[in-house]
């Protein structure tokens, strides 16, 4: 649970083209990696020796997904037990500017590759959960593929009145209702190349608005 207002951005390395757009550094990159390593350990303990299909929700989840899988691979190589993992990707678009869109768009879905694999434990990797609407729509689609178990892993969960109470199985950080960018979280495709998770200034929303 994160309740502080973040860190002075001048204490961190920020790309110069974003310096005027950011209010504060909210979660530093090193803290993200440390928490991700712990999540990997928890997932490995819970999954036993079952084959895991790791499904990454693009685009915002790709950094979290890659770093978490790196930690799981390290545990596979150096731990007492190992878990077979295969990966897949799905792209979801549910935001325009800083507001959720009415329609959730699932792009390039290849979920048919999961058919007939009912013994698989499916882990969904998401960047941020705000209302839970996107994840519920995706979970509904996945039911057709009949995985034995579905676990949702989200880097961030936003505390907001718009969330009717949905909570993923694994949470990196719970954060206040602030619009954050960085570590692959974007605002109209900008800020994905920022290592830290940062709070965006209001004037930056206007600058990059479409």
Mapping DSSP onto H, E and C, the string for the chain reads CCCCCCECHHHCCCCHHHHHHEEEEEECHHHHHHHHHHHHHHHHHHHCCCCEEEEEEECCCHHHHHHHHHHHHHHHHHCCCCCCEEEEEEEEEEEECCEEEEEEEEECCCHHHHCCCCCCEEEEEEEEECCCHHHHHHHHHHHHHCCCEEEEEEEEEECCCCCCCCCCCEEEEEECCCCEEECCECECCECCCCCCEEEECHHHHHHCCC
- The predicted model gives 130-150 an average pLDDT of 77
> Higher-confidence residue: 195 or 140?
195
The answer on pLDDT for 188 being more than 70 is yes
pTM for the model:
0.85
> What's the confidence (pLDDT) of residue 206?
93
The answer on pLDDT for 80 being more than 90 is no
């Amino acid at each position: 649970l994160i309740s502080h207002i973040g860190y002075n951005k001048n204490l961190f390395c920020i790309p110069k083209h974003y310096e005027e757009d950011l209010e504060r550094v909210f979660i530093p990159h090193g803290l993200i990696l440390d928490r991700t390593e712990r999540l990997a350990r928890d997932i490995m303990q819970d999954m036993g020796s079952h084959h895991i299909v790791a499904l990454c929700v693009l685009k915002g989840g790709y950094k979290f997904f890659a770093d978490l899988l790196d930690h799981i691979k390290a545990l596979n190589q150096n731990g007492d037990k190992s878990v077979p993992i295969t990966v897949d990707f799905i792209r979801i678009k549910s935001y325009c500017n800083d507001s959720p869109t009415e329609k959730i768009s699932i792009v390039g879905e290849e979920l048919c590759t999961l058919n007939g694999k009912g013994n698989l434990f499916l882990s969904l990797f998401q960047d941020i959960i705000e209302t839970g609407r996107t994840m519920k729509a995706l979970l509904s689609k996945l039911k057709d593929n009949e995985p034995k178990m579905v676990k949702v892993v989200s880097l961030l969960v936003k505390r907001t009145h718009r969330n009717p109470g949905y909570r993923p199985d694994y949470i990196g950080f719970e954060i206040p209702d602030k619009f954050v960018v960085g570590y692959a979280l974007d605002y109209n495709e900008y800020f994905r190349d920022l290592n830290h998770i940062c709070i965006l200034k209001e004037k930056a929303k206007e600058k990059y608005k479409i």
